[in-house]
Amino acid sequence: MKLRDLLIVAPEVQEALAKGQAVVALESTIIAHGMPFPKNLETALRVEARIREEGAIPATIAIINGHLRVGLNAEELELFGREGQKAAKVSRRDIPFVLAKQQNGATTVASTMIIAAMAGIKVFATGGIGGVHRGATTTLDISADLQELAQTSVAVVSAGAKSILDLGLTLEYLETHGVPVIGYQTDHFPAFYTRSSGLEVNYRVDAPKDIAKVLQYKWGMGLHGGVLVANPIPEQFSLSPAVIESKIEAALSEAHAQEIMGKALTPFLLAKIESLTAGSSLAANIELVLNNARLGAQIAVELAKKEEN
């Protein structure tokens, strides 16, 4: 099986890449597994529109009928919105199995990075990355997203890591594997629903053009691997750290009681927290994704300018 038979890049995305224009990758798990229908579809369309407003082309990534798809149309976005958790949740290890079975698969951060890199896309905007789960010292539950950041040359713009995780250990893991963590206009690592975890980032950078310059130097000298751009949720949508932590603890306790783990854990926790916060966590999630899409597009535009010169 040849790559050209597996990888299908939408004409608009293909043309933009050929011309050296800005393109921003987007994952599909956030559509299928991250939010209920129709809110997930509405959000996906708003995120793509936000990227276009900033002068870049959106490329939502997924697996459809056994093909790696880069750039989905409105009907395909709706397909994942309606399928929800019926669509396979696809990380690195799952890709060949979903392809072999010619299934539909929603891509996580890790698999989106892989497929984006195959297509030549260098910037990816998401909500929050996976990381080291709480209690990982005994469970060894560590997201494949972190290892992908260590080896795949894509810049990931997120609101930090999901606050259901052990953020301290997540940052330690990234440091061990040489992944730079940039704080966009902040000295502290954001905690998804809240603007700060109290943990410091490696570097603070205050302008998209300066982030693009860092990426150009890193990859230009052959330093392979990703960069995590930590972009805090806008202040007006940030939730109270004390309140959200109490909800996370309650959700974790219920997950433990029901013996929920592995791939099912994160979707369960996010849904439970949404219920416990009467929907305010979902509203915050949507706003932080939109905010990351804006910054991702700005970085992609600046990177395209630098590569043109």
Are 166 and 137 spatial neighbours (Cβ–Cβ below 8 Å)? no
| DSSP letter (8 states) at residue 10 | -
Q: Which amino acid does the sequence have at 125?
A: A
**CA separation for the pair 138, 151 (Å, rounded):** 25
Tens digit of each residue's pLDDT (9 = 90 or more) over 180-233: 999 999 999 999 999 999 999 999 999 999 999 999 999 999 999 999 999 999
Quote the distance between the C-alpha of residue 190 and its chain's center: 14
Domain that holds residue 262: 3-308
Q: Is the peptide bond before 190 cis (omega within 30 degrees of 0)?
A: no
Question: 0.75 exceeded by the pTM?
Answer: yes
pLDDT above 80: residue 309: no
- In this predicted structure, what is the pLDDT of residue 264? 78
Residue 160 CB contacts under 8 Å (≥ 6 apart), including other chains: 128, 129, 167, 189, 190, 191, 192, 197, 230, 232
* 308: confidence class by pLDDT, cuts 50, 70, 90: confident
Backbone angles phi, psi at 178, to 5 degrees: 75, 25
Tens digit of each residue's pLDDT (9 = 90 or more) over 225-258: 999 999 999 999 998 888 888 888 888 788 888 9
| 162 part of the active site | yes
Average pLDDT over residues 249-270: 81
Q: Which of 122, 162, 247, 272 is catalytic?
A: 162
- How, if at all, do strands 57-64 and 105-107 pair? antiparallel
pLDDT above 90: residue 296: yes
- In this predicted structure, what is the pLDDT of residue 7? 97
- In this predicted structure, what is the pLDDT of residue 1? 62
| DSSP letter (8 states) at residue 94 | G
Quote the distance between the C-alpha of residue 243 and its chain's center: 24
Backbone angles phi, psi at 57, to 5 degrees: -105, 130
Are 149 and 118 spatial neighbours (Cβ–Cβ below 8 Å)? no
| 27 part of the active site | yes
Domain count, the chain: 1
* 97: confidence class by pLDDT, cuts 50, 70, 90: very high
Are 252 and 164 spatial neighbours (Cβ–Cβ below 8 Å)? yes
CA-based torsion, 110, 111, 113, 114: positive or negative: positive
- The CATH number linked to 255 is 3.40.1790.10
Most confident of 15-24, 134-143, 279-288: 15-24
pLDDT above 80: residue 278: no
Paired tokens of 108? 């996580």
- In this predicted structure, what is the pLDDT of residue 164? 83
- In this predicted structure, what is the pLDDT of residue 297? 98
125: helix, coil or strand?
strand
- In this predicted structure, what is the pLDDT of residue 262? 74
